[in-house]
């Protein structure tokens, strides 16, 4: 029996590629010289698309695959998948939640501590000889015991909140409704109010058309000159132009970002903005987690073609 034919949108680690090539016929879209011609040729045979959270599957790509049954995403975020096309045609979508929650929450805390305690400039202070020449670096502000605001209390947001509790921080959060199990944390439905009532605002929302630029100039003004912003979700949740203005005008104390519009080609203003920590979208970037993400992405494909229940279907 011939192997199911899949469209592969981008690269995967070698351990996943070997397993995929053994189980399926993989058509490598990103390697095609002329992708449209390639898609027109292989599209009719494609039964599933294997993609990544940062790549997704566009409306045009999905339309070019008339026999498409499933889109399996390597990543928890599926905002780059054209969901209206999937809903209209009953195409299933899977992602890789839970396996990356701890790593993303860990990097969020690392980014908060590195930003507020100025860990990267302090490393440069030592390397440059300033420590020997000038003594200790400028004092910073505390993190422990301050107020954390979590915009989006999903799995990752809740994991960040639990870590903040370990730092003796007070926790407040925004979500569509109060979350069961979050009784000890203050529910503040409005993002501007949440920003006004915290020192460090974590953006942990799944990106949707409704959350676009939810962190805007008003939220940043409410966060204030002593407030910091930490984004480990999607760049689309933040109005980058408003953020750059707020940083350059000292309206907020700083920002730590793991995601950017047009990444990895980010707005060059970020490279010169004051009080910013830049990270290369590596929240889930550990060997263990990427292996677990890959296995889950592949297990969803295997389950589909074995007519078994999907492991982590997305509710469309």
Active site residues: 234, 263, 281
Give the pairing type, strands 147-151 and 200-203.
parallel
Which residue number is nearest to ligand 8YV in terms of Cβ?
53
Out of 4, 56, 77, 157, the only residue in the binding site for ligand 8YV (CB under 6 A) is 77
Report residue 51 as tokens. 């993609």
Stretch that binds ligand 8YV, among 47-55, 83-91, 146-154, 268-276 (CB under 6 A): 47-55
Out of 20, 46, 49, 100, the only residue in the binding site for ligand 8YV (CB under 6 A) is 100
Number of residues forming the site for ligand 8YV (CB under 6 A): 10
* Min separation Cβ 56 and ligand 8YV, Å: 9
Cβ-based nearer residue to ligand 8YV, 58 or 275: 58
Stretch that binds ligand 8YV, among 52-60, 82-90, 117-125, 194-202 (CB under 6 A): 52-60
Cβ-based nearer residue to ligand 8YV, 75 or 149: 75
Q: How many whole angstroms separate alpha carbon 142 and alpha carbon 136?
A: 17
Cβ-based nearer residue to ligand 8YV, 172 or 293: 293
Q: Do residues 48 and 29 touch, judged by C-beta distance below 8 A?
A: no
Q: Please write down the long-range contacts of 19-25, taking CB distance under 8 Å and 24 or more positions apart.
A: 19/294, 19/298, 20/50, 20/298, 20/301, 23/298, 23/301, 23/302, 24/48, 24/50, 24/301
Q: Do residues 260 and 267 touch, judged by C-beta distance below 8 A?
A: yes
* Min separation Cβ 153 and ligand 8YV, Å: 17
Site membership for ligand 8YV, residue 52 (CB under 6 A) = yes
Q: How many whole angstroms separate alpha carbon 76 and alpha carbon 57?
A: 14
Q: Do residues 157 and 148 touch, judged by C-beta distance below 8 A?
A: no
Q: Do residues 6 and 24 touch, judged by C-beta distance below 8 A?
A: yes
Cβ-based nearer residue to ligand 8YV, 104 or 164: 104
Binding site for ligand 8YV (CB under 6 A): 52-54, 74-77, 100, 283-284
């Amino acid at each position: 029996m011939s192997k199911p034919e899949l469209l592969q949108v981008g690269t995967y680690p070698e351990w996943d590629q070997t397993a995929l090539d053994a189980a399926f016929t993989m058509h490598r879209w990103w390697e095609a010289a002329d992708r449209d011609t390639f898609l027109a040729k292989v599209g009719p045979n494609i039964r599933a698309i294997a993609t990544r959270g940062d790549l997704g599957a566009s409306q045009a790509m999905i339309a070019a695959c008339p026999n498409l049954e499933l889109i399996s995403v390597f990543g928890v975020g599926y905002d780059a998948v054209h969901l209206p096309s999937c809903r209209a045609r009953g195409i299933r979508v899977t992602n890789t939640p839970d396996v990356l929650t701890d790593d993303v929450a860990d990097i969020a805390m690392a980014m908060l501590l590195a930003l507020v305690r100025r860990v990267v400039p302090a490393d440069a202070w030592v390397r440059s000889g300033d420590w020997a020449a000038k003594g200790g670096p400028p004092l910073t502000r505390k993190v422990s015991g301050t107020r954390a605001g979590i915009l989006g209390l999903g799995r990752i947001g809740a994991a960040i909140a639990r870590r903040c509790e370990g730092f003796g921080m007070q926790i407040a959060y925004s979500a569509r409704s109060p979350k069961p199990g979050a009784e000890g944390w203050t529910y503040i439905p409005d993002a501007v109010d949440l920003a006004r009532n915290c020192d460090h605002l974590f953006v942990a929302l799944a990106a949707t058309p409704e959350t676009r630029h939810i962190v805007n100039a008003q939220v940043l003004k409410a966060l204030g000159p002593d407030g910091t912003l930490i984004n480990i979700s999607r760049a689309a949740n933040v109005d980058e132009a408003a953020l750059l203005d707020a940083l350059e005008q000292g309206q907020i104390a700083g920002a730590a970002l793991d995601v950017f519009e047009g990444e990895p080609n980010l707005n060059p203003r970020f490279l010169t903005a004051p009080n910013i920590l830049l990270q290369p979208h590596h929240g889930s970037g550990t060997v263990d987690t990427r292996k677990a993400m890959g296995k889950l992405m592949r297990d969803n494909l295997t389950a589909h073609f074995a007519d078994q229940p999907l492991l982590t279907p997305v509710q469309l």
